[in-house]
Amino acid sequence: AVLGAPLDTVTLVHHAEAVAEVPGKRHVSYGMPVILDGERLWQTFSDIDTSEGALPYERVLGEEPYVEHIVRSALAAGVGRSEPVGEGTAYLFDARGLVEHAVGWIERNFASGGSTDLG
């Protein structure tokens, strides 16, 4: 459940970005210390860009926040539900269903470098 959090903060969408089979994902490199055999070493890691987005979502959505768009499309497709809680709204998603929906959305829109299908 996502309670009191904006829909653009559902990080399962980033997992979907990572597993979606599409070309041209943006990656970032970062360093951090790790302990290996009791010794502190500096390691460099590479991952998809979860800050700006792994793909050029602006080509498909303009300025609309892509995580929120994908999550709202999941709600519209019946993946998850929303209910009032106090003065706010709670969202409840099946994690697997949300990831499958998000992967499908990403693959439809970026299989060939980006389209205008907002499904």
For residue 92, tell me if it sits in a domain.
yes
Whole-number pLDDT of residue 89: 86
Domain span at residue 41 reads 2-110
Q: Dump the DSSP string for 30-97.
A: EEEEEEETTEEEEEEEEEE-TTT-SS-THHHHTTS-HHHHHHHHHHHTTSSEEEEETTEEEEE--HHH
- Give the total number of structural domains in the chain: 1
For residue 89, tell me if it sits in a domain.
yes
| 81 exposure class (CB count in 10 Å sphere: 0-12, 13-18, 19+) | exposed
Whole-number pLDDT of residue 119: 42
For residue 86, tell me if it sits in a domain.
yes
For residue 117, tell me if it sits in a domain.
no
Which residues of the chain register pLDDT less than 70?
1-4, 113-119
Whole-number pLDDT of residue 3: 65
For residue 115, tell me if it sits in a domain.
no
For residue 118, tell me if it sits in a domain.
no
